[in-house]
Structure 1
Amino acid sequence: MAITGPRGAAPTAPVTAYQPGQAPSRTAPAVLHRRPRTAAPARTAGHGTHPAAGDQHPTEPARPEGARGHSGSEEGENPEHSGAPSQHGGTVPAAEGAADGHGAVRLAVHTADPITRLALVSYVRQFPHLALTRWSAAADIVIASLENPDAAAIGGLRRQLPGDPQLLLIVEGAWTANLHSALDAGVRAVIFRHDFTWDRFGEALREVQAGHGDLPTELQGRLMDQVRQTHREVLTPRGLTPGGLTLREADVLRLVAEGYELQDIGSKLGYSERTIKNVLYGVIKRHRLRNRAHSVAYAIRCGLI
């Protein structure tokens, strides 16, 4: 099942009189007869010397606004210079625009189905703040289509993609991959093909751009079950927290954040002051922090205290 392109896209008419981006000639076409000098018409105020509408070249068809400068080539043919038309008449900046400070989000489309690829490219090209690139290494977000979203498929996809891009997956079959592994591979959003709409796709793309996630409710519930199981069966028996701190380290940082002195912390937890100092030093060294205040801020940011 292929995804078809969004409706309402204006077709680009062929250009035979001049190349895209070239200004039309201001001289009268040679096929028109020169008027006698004695019968030269008076100029109309405000029209200047521009040719009249009827003097346009007969081989140049009218083109819709926003189609000028579009070569009609497929996404990524020249990532250094190519642009893409938007529905407002502008063009999507080239892939290198983001690196030059233009603020474009670079996207790559990774799918074996050419119809799905063309539909996704057509949709993305409507938005000036999105830039298409053929090279996954240069992409901020990779849009990928998977028929069977199992561990092997997601692992294989991740090995094909250099760097650390965020993944927006459009999946066909039942999800069987481990969600922890999928998130570690960079998956930030998943859309089942039977739930696919362009509004749904646009919403997921916006969430990934903002650094958020977008998972179907079915996968959200499954992820909650996996997190609870990991916490009960793996972390708690080993005295660990999800953020990489031991329970003792979390208790010490919590009391430091509340303003207690090291001696008071030792009395509350049943340790010597030297032990408390060693605990704090271990946290600072392991997580490459600067001081106690930095370690407390780290624990708060990670939701550990």
Structure 2
Amino acid sequence: MNPIRVFVRTVDPLTSMAVGHYLGTRPGIEVVPAEASTPVDVVVVVAERLTVQVASTLRGLKANLNAPVIMILCETAREDLVTAVECNVVAVLPRAAARGERIEEAVRTAAEGGGLLPSSMLGELLKRFERLQREALSSDGLHSSGLTTREIDVLRLMSHGFDTSEIAEELNSSERAVKRVVSGVTGRLNLRNRPHAVAYALRMGAI
């Protein structure tokens, strides 16, 4: 089994030596020196906080190594999390609690494709992505169900028993346009027929 190749980057040489020495003594882990051209599996970055300079360093590491990053920080701010995730950070450890075993655990978890984020930061990240998703849907005229405003209007009237001509009259549209809306939504969302489309809209809370 190949060892986990780890690259350690810190602003303090003594810290770098301490972290690197500990990891280098653990079974199945190999610390890669800065000058080596060996592929890297995990990067460990130690810093006071996620400054603009540290973020720039992370982007450089992502471009050159493209490996998951573990950050050990003295100060963590929830607003920095999105930047960190964009830079391949998969684990954040408070420096005060970053003992050798915790760092080793984070390295092995990252190498297996996992992550370790504080629950408060993970909650903030989910809120950010939900907000971005809502903004993206809104800019495209879509409801969170994936339906457009026009499709929701048609399906709402359909749920009340309106036929095609009545829906067209209610929406000041043509029957052909109504049929096109229905065909579009059933085709795009892989729905079988009109009742299925209405059921989908109801289930998603769109109508």
Q: Aligned equivalents of 2:125 and 2:89: distance in 1? A: 13
Amino acid at match of 2:125: L
1:188–1:214 contact (8 Å) kept in structure 2: yes
Report the counterpart of residue 117 of structure 2 in structure 1: 215
Report the counterpart of residue 175 of structure 1 in structure 2: 77
- The higher radius of gyration belongs to 1
Paired residues for 1:190-229 under 5 Å: 190-229=92-131
Deviation string, structure 1 residues 48-75 (Cα, Å, up to 9, x no partner):
xxxxxxxxxxxxxxxxxxxxxxxxxxxx
Using the size of structure 1 for normalisation, the TM-score is: 0.44
Please, which runs of 5 or more residues in structure 2 have no aligned partner?
148-178, 190-207
**TM-align CA RMSD:** 3.3
| Deviation, structure 1 residue 199 | 2.7
| Range with bigger deviation, 195-204 or 175-184 | 175-184
| Deviation, structure 1 residue 121 | 1.5
C-alpha distance 217-272 of structure 1, shift in aligned 2 (>3 A): closer
Instruction: Give SS of 1:203's match.
Output: helix
Q: Could you tell me which of 125, 134, 140 is aligned with 2:24? A: 125
Instruction: Give SS of 2:183's match.
Output: coil
| Deviation, structure 1 residue 240 | 6.8
C-alpha distance 122-272 of structure 1, shift in aligned 2 (>3 A): closer
Report the counterpart of residue 232 of structure 1 in structure 2: 134
Q: Could you tell me which of 185, 188, 195 is aligned with 2:87? A: 185
Alignment length (residue pairs) = 155
C-alpha distance 117-149 of structure 1, shift in aligned 2 (>3 A): same
Report the counterpart of residue 158 of structure 1 in structure 2: 59
Q: Aligned equivalents of 2:79 and 2:54: distance in 1? A: 9
Deviation string, structure 1 residues 142-183 (Cα, Å, up to 9, x no partner):
111122213542233322551311101111224265423321
Identity %: 25
C-alpha distance 237-134 of structure 1, shift in aligned 2 (>3 A): same
Deviation string, structure 1 residues 87-127 (Cα, Å, up to 9, x no partner):
xxxxxxxxxxxxxxx41111111112122112112211222
| Deviation, structure 1 residue 186 | 0.6
Report the counterpart of residue 183 of structure 2 in structure 1: 271
Task: Return the structure number with greater helix share.
Answer: 2
C-alpha distance 240-122 of structure 1, shift in aligned 2 (>3 A): farther
Instruction: Give SS of 1:271's match.
Output: helix
1:172–1:194 contact (8 Å) kept in structure 2: yes
Q: Aligned equivalents of 1:156 and 1:107: distance in 2? A: 16
Paired residues for 1:126-145 under 5 Å: 126-135=25-34, 138-145=39-46
Using the size of structure 2 for normalisation, the TM-score is: 0.62
Instruction: Give SS of 1:231's match.
Output: helix
1:108–1:141 contact (8 Å) kept in structure 2: yes
